[in-house]
Amino acid sequence: MNILVVGGGGREHAIIQKLKEDPRVTHIYALPGSGGIAADAVCLGGSATDIPAAVEAAKRCAADFVVVAPDDPLVLGMVDAMEAEGFPCFGPRKNAAVIEGSKAFAKDLMKRYGIPTAAYETFTDMAQALAYVDACPLPAVVKADGLALGKGVLICETRDAAREAVRSMMEGRLFGESGATVVVESFLTGPEVSVLSFTDGETIVPMVSSMDHKRALDGDKGLNTGGMGAVAPNPCYTPEIAAACMEQIFLPTIRAMKAEGRPFKGCLYFGLMLTPDGPKVIEYNCRFGDPETQVVLPLLESSLLEIMLAVREGRLTGTEVRFSEKSACCVILASEGYPQAYGKGFPITLPETAAHERIYIAGAALKDGQLVTSGGRVLGATAVAENLPAAIERAYALADRIRFDNAYCRRDIGRRALEALQCRM
Ligand code: AMP
Ligand code: GLY
């Protein structure tokens, strides 16, 4: 089979490597791909959000199956456009991708179907939003409605900060048109868990749980980033909590989407907070998370291609989705300065890897045959081991063998997970 994967980050690299384990895959293409993905797929370049060009690319490579991985093309309707030309896809259609594309949609869905989430109000009028944050409980969480590269959330400790957040989103368009509508919600506390799931719209199969590390600096300090590392499984997510999430969140969500005439087929990501009042949804994503995918897929023992085909064909029930009992840790090597300004173009030296190690490339380009840094998050160093402490140690041992100037990583990926593990023992 010829497979086209849309995207070009560490997540897509992990998806491509996993798909290639299925002997039915003969050719694999990435759009745009990256200098690092070029080792595993034919990279087509271009833009993941240019839908007509992507459909033409699918024709040129005679794609038998298309995997649309990033949020923007999904929210823009790339799956609909591909299907209209006869290309079967993994990923939700536009009317289902809205679960990530509009926070106001997601919050209203949860309210109407009784799915636990933070209390909230939605505003399209700035004066009303300002009046609301003048009286609401603090801290207030102010969110731009649309996609904002994971950065559209401001947690405001003071009234002044909340007013400023509303103004900068609605008037200053800090996150562009995403801020035309804002959601103000109450602040929740508790450990965060990411649960990615496969769903064909009827059946939902959660993957192994994981924990992201969003802040740039050790101790969860510094700015929010796309994610500086991840571990799986997440020790806070006990079997009892998983059962409660299935009953109160996962099944109700896919039933709600179906009832709304928006059946969700693809990977539905639940960003959860385990609050003192039980698990609540912080966010939905309509796609695999990054870096979570870089720890979840290495633990998948079944064929990713077979699962994706089953999702597409509505036969997920009866399809094997088996995860290893082992643990995985991914340490992101970033360019010093990320998520703000950083230098680029530094040559990367990659070591030989053992069977338990994976290097997923995100921000790197090929220049005269040499891999050089080209992005903020450069790559993910992932290791699998019998348990979490060993996976963390192995991931750092791998990260420390990778060389490029200006490399930066957090040194405490997995520490909070280890602390949670100790509490349970
Ligand atoms: P989101 O983009 O919605 O995932 O938000 C980014 C991060 O902001 C989350 O991972 C949480 O750490 C934090 N966050 C979002 N909403 C809330 C909330 N209601 N209460 C506390 N923290 C939140
Ligand atoms: N790691 C969070 C996300 O992919 O949105």
Task: Give tens-digit pLDDT for 272-304.
Answer: 999 999 999 999 999 999 999 999 999 999 999
pLDDT at residue 31 greater than cutoff 90: yes
* Residue 213 CA, ligand 2 centroid: distance in Å: 10
- pTM of whole model > 0.85? yes
Q: Pick the atom of ligand 1 nearest to 212's CA.
A: 10
Q: 123: which residues sit within 8 A by CB, 6+ positions away? A: 129, 132, 166, 170, 181, 182, 183, 184
**CB-CB contact of 77 with 50 (8 Å):** no
Quote the DSSP letter at residue 264.
Answer: -
**Strand, helix or coil at 8?**
coil
CA 237 – CA 42 distance, rounded (Å) = 38
Write the DSSP assignment of 242-278 as a string of letters: HHHHIIIIIHHHHHHHHHTT----EEEEEEEEEETTE
Q: Which atom of ligand 2 is nearest to the CA of 287?
A: 4
Contact assessment for residue 97 and residue 286, using Cβ atoms and an 8 Å cutoff:
yes
Rg, Å, the chain Cα set: 21
Is residue 229 in contact with ligand 2, taking CB distance under 6 Å? no
CA–CA–CA angle 243, 244, 246 (5° rounding): 65
Distance from the Cα of residue 265 to its chain's centroid: 16
* pLDDT exceeds 90 at position 144: no
Partners of 382 in beta bridges = 330, 358
pLDDT tens per residue across span 95-108? 999 999 999 999 99
Residue 53 to residue 78: CA distance in whole angstroms: 10
Predicted confidence at residue 153, as pLDDT, reads 87
Can you give the pLDDT at residue 149? 65
Estimate to the nearest angstrom the gap between the alpha carbon of 419 and the chain centroid: 24
Kindly indicate the confidence band of residue 150, based on its pLDDT and cuts at 50, 70 and 90.
low
Among 269, 284, 286, residue to substitute to test ligand 2 (most atoms within 8 Å of Cβ)? 269
Q: Which ligand is nearest to the CA of 230?
A: 2
State the number of CA atoms in the 13 A half-sphere of 272 facing the CB. Answer: 31
By the 8 A CB rule, do 247 and 237 touch? no
- The atom number, within ligand 2, closest to the CA of 150 reads 5
Which residue's CA is the nearest one to ligand 2's atom 2?
A: 289
Answer yes or no: is the C-beta of 222 below 6 A from any ligand 1 atom.
no
Q: Chain-wide mean pLDDT for the chain?
A: 95
103-113 and 94-101 are packed helices; what angle lies between their axes, rounded to 10 degrees?
A: 100
The structure tokens 């998948």 sit at: 300
- Pick from 368, 392, 266, 373: which is nearest to 400 by CA? 392
Q: Which atom of ligand 2 is closest in space to residue 227's alpha carbon?
A: 1
CA of 269 to the centre of ligand 2 (A): 9
Half-sphere exposure of 140 (CA within 13 A, CB side): 25
Q: Is the confidence at residue 220, as pLDDT, over 90?
A: yes
Strands 182-186 and 221-224: unpaired
Gap between the Cα atoms of 341 and 262, Å rounded: 40
pLDDT score for 223: 87
Q: pLDDT band at 172, cuts 50/70/90?
A: confident
